[in-house]
Amino acid sequence: MAWLEEMTAAANVPPAKDLWQVCPRCGAYVPKAEWNAANPVCPRCNYHGRMKARARIALLADEGTFAECHADVSYSDHLAFHDATGAYKDKVEATVKKTGEGESVTIGTALMGGIPVMLGAMNFFFMGGSLGTGTGERICRACEQAIAERRPLVLCSASGGARMHEGILSLMQMARTSAAIGKLKAAGLPFISILTDPTTGGVSASYAMLGDVNVAEPGVLIGFAGRRVIENTIHQKLPPDFQTAEYLEQHGFVDKIVERKDLKAFVVKTLHYMGF
Amino acid sequence: MKAIEIVKMARDPKRPHFFDYVKGMCSDFEELHGDRLAKDDRGLVGGFATIGGEKCVLLGHNKGATVEENVAANFGMANPDGYRKAMRLMTLAEKFGLPVVTLVDTPGAYPGREAEERGQAEAIAKSLEFCAALKTPIVVVIVGEGGSGGALAIAVGDRVLMLENAVYSVISPEGCAGILWRDGSKAADAAEALKITAADLKRLGVVDEIVPEGANGAAKSPKTAIANVKKRVLAALKELKKLDKEELVARRYGKFRAMGRFN
């Protein structure tokens, strides 16, 4: 069949994966250009796909107003952690190289609808958005800067939970970020927590759930324990909508589900109500 | 000793549990029930206690002594109701000027359907924020298993003590091995890599003081272990009582704020 391969190569047709995006939820084939233009939201099932931190910030900040802070804070390999597949240091360095980011959260100052805010977004593509010591440090500094400059904090979470490669100190990030968020709130400043796909484990059980207002994108996964762990513990099948944003809204833990295209307007309006 | 052997000791059902400490170190204990919202969780219990003449609120995970108790208490895996009860009791402590003592001993927060529906994540998060700002001394003792967020939720204190053969970890060695080694039987390797023993945690600045357990550990020498815990708790309370409330909270914030500032 060599003639066929030659013919196809000669036609210079781009491979299908460059033309089409398959929706991970409903399986629809969406033209790549349309998928990317919609800041990946599936036009058929309204699946709100995962976004890189900077793309998300671009969606929320007034154009050209975002100035990154605390970018010098990076991961720490204080345990010299190795597992079966190698060293944490090698994995995280590869991630830094691939993503161009130094940690799983990107934070800075910005205007939103003209209001000066501290704006941050977690990056699921950086070690699963896991909460490491560097992530925790950036969030604590963001809270402290927000207090010093009287800015509301708007933070988008996307994380599988704590970063176990950093051992017990990754767990401690839950405590110190929650303490810092508490200080911000006690200073009378708003914390708007935006929950995106996925927000689970140690991140859901710390700052992500502590918003004065918790907003979630439609259909996203939000929960503490993993579905399989729960099913194995209780020996029951869980309903399909378990741990979705809608399920959390029904049970009282999410204030509102807001589509991605409306997120910025919702945050700005909320900040107006809060006196900003 | 290998980390995994210490894990086994920390999980030994013969180790003293919450009510053994009550019996061994309190001249009085009055349990208070319920979160005033939904339930009385048996996995996390507490009440007014007198330890060596010192009145306090004593809280802790309860693994239970009999099979019936084990089941009722989910083997010390608390539900959101447990963390909300803990916050309610700590509010009482703050209001009436009593210090708080917590005994941490849990495999982790309960991973159940209702636990999720009643907001396990929110309850733990709220407890972390709450403990960080509580205007009364908090002394934490990791007495057995310090399992992840379910342990940390009542472990944000001014002094964190840890028994010699207790463990405290972000994830169980089995869970970590399942994810990073893709093989749950590699728990021994994961336990070693995670650095979860009292000596490791002291070195990392997460634990202030290691409490010795006596010959062959707390399961074999429960009286010694309990007496040592009592002595260290009283010493810590004595020191913390000297501090002004604002100073206490500022120092507690500083203590946790410093955990993991490397770069």
**For residues A135 and A173, is the Cβ–Cβ distance under 8 A?**
yes
pLDDT recorded at residue A39 = 85
Provide the pLDDT for residue A35. 86
Contact A174 B204 (CB under 8 A): no
- Other residues' Cβ atoms within 10 Å of the Cβ of residue B184: 15
Chain B positions touching A252 (Cβ under 8 A) are 119
Q: Which of B170, B182, B183, B246 to mutate to test the interface with A (most CBs of A within 10 A)?
A: B170
Which among A79, A173, A242 has CB closest to B195? A79
What does the H/E/C string look like for A68-92? ECCCCCCCCCCCCCEECCEEHHHHH
pLDDT in tens, A108-161: 999 999 999 999 999 999 999 999 999 999 999 999 999 999 999 999 999 999
Q: Which of A78, A179, A251 sits opposite B129 (nearest CB)?
A: A179
Interface test with B, best of A82, A83, A184 (most B CBs within 10 A): A83
Domain boundaries, chain B: 3-255
Local structure of residue A39 (DSSP, 8 states) = S
**Number of C-beta neighbours around residue B88 at 10 A:** 15
CA angle at residue B108 from B102 to A245, to 5 degrees? 115
Binding-face residues of B in 43-72 toward A, CB within 8 A: none
Task: Give me the residue from A85, A178, A185 closest to B128, CB to CB.
Answer: A178
Residues B144, B147: Cα–Cα separation, whole Å? 9
Q: Of all residues in chain B, what percent carry a pLDDT higher than 90?
A: 97
Q: Which superfamily does CATH assign the domain made up of B3-255 to?
A: 2-enoyl-CoA Hydratase; Chain A, domain 1 (3.90.226.10)
The domain spans of chain A are 15-47, 50-273
Q: Are B48 and B30 in contact (CB under 8 A)?
A: yes
Asked if residue A68 has pLDDT above 70, the reply is: yes
CB contact under 8 A, B113 and A234: yes
CA angle A232, A238, A244 (to 5 degrees): 120
Q: What is the pLDDT of residues B26-85, one digit of tens each?
A: 999 999 999 999 999 999 999 999 999 999 999 999 999 899 999 999 999 999 999 999
pLDDT reading at A10 higher than 60: no
**pLDDT higher for A105 or A40?**
A105
Contact A168 B109 (CB under 8 A): no
Q: Which of residues 98-157 of B touch A (CB under 8 A)?
A: 109-113, 115-122, 124-126, 128-130, 132-133, 148-149, 152-153, 155-156
Looking up tokens 């599988």 gives A160
Considering only the top CATH level, what class is A50-273? alpha beta
pLDDT, average across residues B234-260: 97
Interface test with B, best of A127, A159, A168, A247 (most B CBs within 10 A): A168
B180 and A CB contact within 8 Å: yes
pTM for the structure as a whole: 0.95
Which positions in chain A touch B124 (Cβ < 8 Å)?
174, 205-206, 224
A105: tokens are 């959260």
* 3-state DSSP assignment of residue B43: coil
Q: Is the ipTM of this complex over 0.90?
A: yes
Could you read off the pLDDT of B109-128 as tens digits, one per residue? 999 999 999 999 999 999 99
- Is A226 an interface residue toward B (CB < 8 Å)? yes
What residues of chain A lie within 8 A of the CB of B188, using their CB?
none
